[in-house]
Structure 1
């Protein structure tokens, strides 16, 4: 099954930038590209008002022209990528989550048409990043251009989602020809005196973090012999702010959907949620692809 790279397109500047990223990802992965437009408002606008009219409204000619125009531009820029379009009678987040069941990757802009400038939690990007059934790339807006030669950063904490994040980050760094930085967030050092047993515990934690990074680096180097891998321990009280700061000079940050200490049933952990909302570069949230035998 040749799973496509799927991107949500609504004609907004954010979604057009996301479509460019998605086309590049499709080229790197040798996958088809599917442009999806969910043309019903997420709160139900566009559904027939008459309760006796059970039909679903058809997509507009304007939205079809928009999709065709974007597809034509992408085919011209990436002639080796097979580009298809699909209009779905559903809200943008729900449509992309459903498409993620059959996708290699879903790409979404951080804010589309109708998005409020200050709206963070509950946006389409946060919903897709939380509920996606495959890796989800959230293309963050930038006041400054993203450094194209910046490293790919992977958050490492030893959890299964983080191990998937490291594998995806290694592939992304290899595609881009940039370094991979494995980052582990540890508690900030406190200058105040502490009891010996606390100091011993902190020393053991630092040693465990060093070992964790070394094991992750060895696994990556075995799979990607030519890739430059660097390890960093970030000192901070919480993972989100530390990785947000580190994202300032990165080309991409990759994190698990939920790391150690995450509550069962929590769709998007605090670190990944903070990055989706505040990172200075695109964020890839590592969800395992859903197994399916359906044709995409």
Structure 2
């Protein structure tokens, strides 16, 4: 399964962003894509020289610092995946705006879960959170410590907006040659009632009807994907519980968690911003957030 395209990674020189570079390089290799290393440069509010101080060392100043951190990121990428094409760009602008613009031409944007403060504070957690809401392609948020072992966990809510997350997770499992756990979490508060068997008692359903309906929902959500990706081993899990807590716990033994950025509306909202944001902050492995096709929310 080889594609051609572009993977973008945002860097700020932090350990988290350098881990993101290595992950992005591997993702580009798996996809047969090129990699673009992007640094968003924000002009400092204080009087800091862009170049070297007249009386200071030649390697001083922000310009040299930016060149150094970008060069380090490019070197990391080439070591992680020597066979890919790596380019780099420094763009003046606020990080979220820059990365959102870059996402328009990318099939995947990769960022660190947290970054540096001060002048170079590009990928602090808020940027990652906002990017998954405004980016034009899937966003992979990486932590410094992550494992290549374990399955890919896909959070399924059965909504039309979540279909792209299902597509992404199956493709990612095929790229990585990993098992896939399709996990659907439900409770009596967010599960739609199945049609009653007795029309004279519209709210009466036999024991287990809700659980059976949720199993059907999961099966229907991934139907067709198993035929398209016969090499991917899929495990169905339907759990009665709390969505955020269940997905965070599942991330302990996963190499990646994939969720949609929005899901069912109203009280039935499973993969709304609160769930994806909770995962970005608390998951124990990288998280990929895939937005639906309905635009920003």
Q: TM-score, normalised by structure 2?
A: 0.79
Q: Which runs of 4+ in 1 moved over 4 A?
A: 196-199, 288-291
Aligned equivalent of 1:70 = 73
1:175-223 per-residue CA deviation (whole Å, 9 max, x = no partner) reads 111111111011179xxxxxx9877277332222111222234322111
Please list every run of 5 or more consecutive structure 1 residues that lacks an aligned counterpart in the other structure.
Answer: 49-57, 190-195, 292-296
- Name whichever of 124-133 and 12-21 sits farther off: 124-133
Cα pair 2:96 2:131 within 8 Å, conserved: yes
After superposition, residues 103-114 of structure 1 pair within 5 angstroms as: 103-114=106-117
Cα pair 1:134 1:288 within 8 Å, conserved: no
- Name whichever of 196-205 and 100-109 sits farther off: 196-205
Aligned equivalent of 1:11 = 13
Q: 1:217 to 1:61 in 2, by over 3 A?
A: same
Q: 1:125 to 1:163 in 2, by over 3 A?
A: same
Aligned equivalent of 2:23 = 21
1:101 CA displacement: 1.2
**For the residues of structure 1 that align with 2:132 and 2:228, how far apart are their CA atoms?**
27
Cα pair 1:133 1:290 within 8 Å, conserved: no
Please list every run of 5 or more consecutive structure 2 residues that lacks an aligned counterpart in the other structure.
Answer: 49-60, 190-200
Bigger Rg over Cα: 2
Cα pair 1:102 1:290 within 8 Å, conserved: no
Aligned equivalent of 2:181 = 181
Aligned equivalent of 1:96 = 99
Task: Tell me the secondary structure at the aligned position of residue 200 of structure 1.
Answer: coil
Q: 1:224 to 1:20 in 2, by over 3 A?
A: same
Aligned equivalent of 2:84 = 81
Q: 1:122 to 1:140 in 2, by over 3 A?
A: closer
Aligned equivalent of 2:243 = 239
1:5 CA displacement: 0.4
Aligned equivalent of 1:269 = 273
Q: TM-score, normalised by structure 1?
A: 0.79
Aligned equivalent of 1:205 = 210
1:65 CA displacement: 2.2
